[in-house]
Structure 1
Amino acid sequence: MDQRISFITLAVADVERSRQFYIDGLGWHPELVVPDEVLMIRAGEHLMLSLWAESGFEAEVGPIRRGAGAVPITLSHNVRTEGEVDEILALAQRIGADPVSPATRREWGGYSGYFADPDGFRWEVAVNPGPTGDLVLPD
């Protein structure tokens, strides 16, 4: 088995609300839109972010765990500068994201903050210094 991830699929309560957030708000471009069912966005050279209506997700994968607290996953968008981190966090807040955590210098040497999308998925926006950070950024 090759060492890679091809899709990240998130179950969302409202596909249209997700489209408004990611496409209209963040300015991302859809690869596939099936109204009220799924929104697919190319997130890397060989990576798709799939936002799937909860009903379809549950029909195929099984019941979704619901309850208080954060969804137990974070997604990270890495950038080259601290200014970019601040700009993206401000944009996310302007389009209605929950500003979970302001950007701060982390003990591991980076700079990051978090926002939550309309379904509560936590997005980290980060500068990750060193070779690992270089690995995840496009040339």
Structure 2
Amino acid sequence: MDPKITLVTIGVEDIDESLRFYRDGLDFPMQEREPDSDVAFFTLDGTWLSVYPREKLAEDATVADDGGGFSGVTLAHNVASERAVDAVLAEAAAAGGRIVKPAQDAFWGGYSGYFADPDDHLWEVASPELTAE
């Protein structure tokens, strides 16, 4: 197996709300799609992100969609500075995201915080090392 991730699909409750958050709020570049399509693809640097109805994603994977809380998965977005971490978290909040953990010095030596998208998928925004600003 070639060790790389080419696509991350997240299950969502409301595709239109996810489009407003990712496409309109965070300005993720979206591939063309039919207006009534139940999937959307965003082209990111090095991978793709797709949003798909949660119940259909669970059905496709043949697992229960019981909403059991934290799934044990977070997505991460690394940036170059503390200021950039703060800016991305502010952008996510303005787009309708919820700040889960405000940015702060991290135990591993960097600076990071977390936001949740409208379906509570967690995103860590981090700067890998402290920088003078």
**TM-score past 0.5 threshold:** yes
Cα contact 1:39–1:51 (8 A) shared by 2: yes
Moved over 4 A (4+): none
Contiguous gaps of at least 5 residues in structure 1: 131-139
Number of the residue aligned with 1:134: none
Measured on the aligned residues, the alpha-carbon RMSD in Å equals: 1.7
Output aligned runs, 1:28-39, within 5 Å: 28-34=28-34, 35-39=36-40
Output aligned runs, 1:14-93, within 5 Å: 14-34=14-34, 35-45=36-46, 47-62=47-62, 63-67=64-68, 69-93=69-93
- Alignment: residue pair count: 128
**Identical aligned residues as a percent:** 38
CA-to-partner distance for each residue in 1:57-91, whole Å, 9 max, x for gaps? 13311232413x33321000100011010011111
Give the strand-richer structure, 1 or 2.
Answer: 1
Q: Which moved more, 1:31-40 or 1:104-113?
A: 31-40
Cα contact 1:12–1:52 (8 A) shared by 2: yes
Cα contact 2:55–2:65 (8 A) shared by 1: no
How far does residue 54 in structure 1 lie from its aligned partner after superposition? 2.0
Q: Which moved more, 1:20-29 or 1:53-62?
A: 53-62
Cα contact 1:30–1:41 (8 A) shared by 2: yes
For residue 83 of structure 1, give the secondary structure of its aligned residue in structure 2. helix
Cα contact 1:37–1:56 (8 A) shared by 2: no
Q: Provide closer, same or farther for how the CA distance between residues 36 and 12 of structure 1 changes in structure 2, counting only shifts above 3 A.
A: farther
1:107 aligns with 2:107: yes
- TM-score, normalised with respect to structure 1: 0.84
